[in-house]
Amino acid sequence: MGTTSDGDRPWESYHTVYTNAKAGMDGVDKERVQRVIYEMSKGSKYFENEQRKEAFLKQRIERMHAQCAKLTTNDIAHFQMIADKRILESEAARDLSKIWLHSDMDAFYAAVEMLDNPSLKGKPLAVGSMSMICTANYEARKFGVRAAMPGFIARKLCPNLVFVPTNFDKYMYYSEMTRKVFRRYDPYFIATSLDEAYLNITDVCKERGVSSQEVAEELRNAIFEETSLTCSAGVAPNRLLAKVCSDINKPNGQFILPNERKAIMAFISSLPIRKIGGIGKVTEHILRDVLGINTCEEMLKKSAYLCALFSPCSIDFFISAALGLGSTDTPQFSLRKSMSSERTFSGTEDQSLLYQKLDEIADSLSNDMQIESLFGRTLTLKLKTASFEVRTRALSLQKYIQSKEDILSHATRLLKAELPLSLRLIGLRMSHFRDDKHGSGDPMQKTITSFIFSGDASENVLCDNHSAGTDTSDDPLIGNDLCFQDDQNVPSLGSRHPELVDEQCFNNDVDGWKKIDGFKSSAKTDEMEMYSRTESNVEVNETGKFPDNRAVYPSTREGLAFWIDDYICSLCGCELPPSFIEERQEHSDYHLAEMLQKEESTNNLSKLMQERPIDKGSSATGTSRKRQKSSPKGSKHIPIDFFFKRNKEV
């Protein structure tokens, strides 16, 4: 495939994610690493699939090239005007009033393992398995070993590599210790994973009259004293930049970017675009090969071409990032949108075996859903063929389901339609959760709580980003767009982008519950045991929001009340065991109605509503892209039918 001569150096055309610059990889012999990876890979089904993907990407790049070539000078002038306008608008929204700190633990899982077993110190260590490693310590990184690399390749790179399986209990335990420190600096801190968090230290600096540099030092020292683990910190006026900064002097270092436009531009200009959260391997490749963009400065220079080639969403993201803009607000927490379970096994076309796998996965998903009292109505079957091609097949129901039996019966139908096939992975994902936590039911019937919080009542409140489901889109080859969205930092051809836009729902992490780097199973359950029942529920969501111990379960919209020890109402102390589902909902609705009454009398309802994941339309850095829903907003008075408006679902 390579247009260049693959002939004598074939490994150079096998692009992996492993050669990307990363902390601890400085002195690595990259050519050797590339070669070893290539040698271990070539000929494998995985490798062939990667090549297929690369070929598609190449076609895509060629199409974009052609598109560029067709532009007349007139066109370019036109797009330059559009770009300049966007640049001006973005610049006008620059907010330098906040100070954000991003904290990132160093080789977190590996560091915890070394702490737990000091004999590992000084040895190259990988956490994970022979098929995939989660992270590696800095000794191992010298050999090119890193996260997301298969263990058998890592061992080839570093024959003395020690493997340790993951222990999420431990990581959660230490993570919680670090969060206790974070909490002291910003009770609303945003945890984006077990080992990363954003803290708004504006007030700390102001109130104590200390510099952000001092706060960063103090915080890192506190973490070290309390956990014996090191971390790195980045300080900047927004989260996008803070995240970039924390990587600069990693490990065990910090970097402060002052809140001055000049300093920011100097910093960002020479920054390789790949350092920006949301620009991954593919986006980097496209921007480099199509437009010759490698740095943020170049991105700005080529802004007219960006406007010609990409969607408004992507354009905004690129331009904002190139200007060093990012989110400065503290986002509202958001609810879980999907939950999934998937398993890889050795490829087979034995149908009874495949149905058995499906059974296990349905069971696992159902259990997970029960733990969080979730009922969903969109089920997506995911398959990976023996040749690594991925397919998804979805189905939306009238009713919300949770039981294994229900899940399995629908999943079986979906699978049946695809067989025969030789598969290596089966997965199930549930989405479109009910707005409250109870049993099945007709989507038409909502409780007051769910009705109000769901946004049917006042659209502008919603976070429900995109109109549709969570599974999405088709034919990636048609558009060029990369799309970014918000959150911490992460865009890509269809992924969230970072810090830029503020708005809408951020899922500040969600981690903590399952996903967690991919080894959820034990994670979720353990976390439940560990935290719930103490004040931990807070922990879970606390990823940012409820410093006052007003626990709220993740992804449930039960309303204002939650159940202490799972049976005492947090608001009035009345006791209702979990099995009293209907009663509980009524009870919760009662508190909500009561509250609404109070709120309304003080004209504050709109404020209450906005406390949910919200819009914020055009916030400071507001690059918000979202399709805006037209909605009557801002009305102070609530008409009675507000409470009875029908929900539009099927």
Ligand X SMILES: Cc1cn([C@H]2C[C@H](O)[C@@H](COP(=O)(O)OP(=O)(O)OP(=O)(O)O)O2)c(=O)[nH]c1=O
Catalytic residues: 196
Minimum Å distance from CB 572 to DNA? 31
Measured from the CB atom, is 108 or 375 closer to Mg ion? Answer: 108
Contact between 104 and Mg ion (CB under 5 A)? yes
DSSP helix/strand/coil, 233: strand
Q: What letter does residue 288 receive in the DSSP assignment?
A: H
Minimum Å distance from CB 613 to ligand X? 25
Single out the residue of 51, 230, 252, 311 in contact with DNA (rule: CB under 7 A): 311
Contact between 589 and Mg ion (CB under 5 A)? no
Contact between 314 and DNA (CB under 7 A)? yes
Distance CA 380, CA 12 (A): 37
- The item of DNA, ligand X, Mg ion, none sharing an interface with residue 559, based on CB under 5 to 8 Å by kind, is none
Q: Which residue number has the CB closest to ligand X?
A: 517
Single out the residue of 113, 186, 195, 615 in contact with Mg ion (rule: CB under 5 A): 195
Strands (DSSP E) found in 545-593: 563-564, 568-569
Residues 47-66 close enough to bind DNA by CB under 7 A: 47, 53, 56-57
| Cα dihedral sign, 75-81-86-91 | positive
Measured from the CB atom, is 211 or 647 closer to DNA? Answer: 647
- Written as six digits, the tokens of 93 are 């929204």
Minimum Å distance from CB 329 to DNA? 15
Contact between 489 and DNA (CB under 7 A)? yes
Q: What count of residues does the chain have? A: 650
Largest CA distance in the chain: 78
Size of the site for Mg ion (CB under 5 A): 4
Single out the residue of 37, 197, 299, 596 in contact with DNA (rule: CB under 7 A): 37
CA distances from 593 to 448, 555, 639 (A): 8, 21, 14
Q: Which residue has the tokens 């070993």?
A: 145
Measured from the CB atom, is 134 or 483 closer to ligand X? Answer: 134
Residues 90-149 close enough to bind DNA by CB under 7 A: 130-132, 134, 147-149
DSSP helix/strand/coil, 81: helix
Minimal CA–CA distance to 407: which of 449, 370, 455?
Answer: 370
Contact between 370 and DNA (CB under 7 A)? no
Distance CA 231, CA 228 (A): 10
- The secondary structure of 300-357 as a DSSP string is HHTHHHHHHHS-HHHHHHHHHHHTT----S-PPP----EEEEEEEEEEE--HHHHHHH
Angle at 94 between CA 92 and CA 100, to 5 degrees: 175
Contact between 35 and DNA (CB under 7 A)? no
Minimum Å distance from CB 231 to Mg ion? 8
Contact between 496 and DNA (CB under 7 A)? yes
Minimal CA–CA distance to 146: which of 155, 138, 156, 136?
Answer: 136
Minimum Å distance from CB 104 to Mg ion? 4
Minimum Å distance from CB 501 to DNA? 8
Instruction: Give the other-Cβ count within 10 Å of 538's Cβ.
Output: 19
Measured from the CB atom, is 127 or 264 closer to ligand X? Answer: 127
Minimum Å distance from CB 587 to DNA? 27
Contact between 528 and DNA (CB under 7 A)? no
Minimum Å distance from CB 588 to DNA? 22
Distance CA 422, CA 520 (A): 26
Contact between 245 and DNA (CB under 7 A)? no
Distance CA 289, CA 5 (A): 17
Name beta bridge partners: 563: 569
What are the respective helix, strand and coil percentages of the chain, to the nearest 5? 45, 15, 45
Contact between 161 and Mg ion (CB under 5 A)? no
Rg (CA), the chain: 25
Contact between 12 and DNA (CB under 7 A)? no
Contact between 40 and DNA (CB under 7 A)? yes
Contact between 482 and Mg ion (CB under 5 A)? no
Which region, judged by CB under 5 A, interacts with Mg ion, from 76-84, 101-109, 337-345, 619-627?
101-109
Question: Do 381 and 415 form a contact (C-beta atoms < 8 A)?
Answer: yes
Angle between helices 212-227 and 168-185 (to 10 degrees): 140
Measured from the CB atom, is 99 or 105 closer to Mg ion? Answer: 105
Contact between 294 and DNA (CB under 7 A)? no
Measured from the CB atom, is 23 or 276 closer to ligand X? Answer: 23
Contact between 192 and DNA (CB under 7 A)? yes
Measured from the CB atom, is 187 or 272 closer to DNA? Answer: 272
Contact between 366 and DNA (CB under 7 A)? no
Minimal CA–CA distance to 333: which of 471, 494, 189?
Answer: 189
Q: Which residue has the tokens 């829903």?
A: 629
Distance CA 190, CA 523 (A): 20
CA distances from 588 to 149, 448, 593, 603 (A): 47, 9, 9, 22
Bridging pattern class, strands 231-236 and 190-193: unpaired
Contacts 24+ apart (CB under 8 A), 467-474: 467/627, 469/378, 469/394, 469/396, 469/431, 469/432, 470/337, 470/338, 470/378, 470/429, 470/431, 470/432, 471/378, 471/380, 471/392, 471/394, 471/429, 471/431
Interaction mask 544-573, DNA, x per CB under 7 A: ------------------------------
Single out the residue of 2, 518, 547, 617 in contact with DNA (rule: CB under 7 A): 518
- The item of ligand X, Mg ion, DNA, none sharing an interface with residue 250, based on CB under 5 to 8 Å by kind, is ligand X
Measured from the CB atom, is 175 or 465 closer to ligand X? Answer: 175
Measured from the CB atom, is 108 or 531 closer to Mg ion? Answer: 108
Which region, judged by CB under 7 A, interacts with DNA, from 181-189, 255-263, 422-430, 572-580?
422-430
Measured from the CB atom, is 517 or 571 closer to DNA? Answer: 517
Q: Using CB under 6 A as the criterion, which residues of the chain lie in contact with ligand X when the complex forms? A: 23, 104-109, 134-135, 147-148, 195, 250-251, 517-518
What is the contact surface with Mg ion in residues (CB under 5 A)?
Answer: 104-105, 108, 195
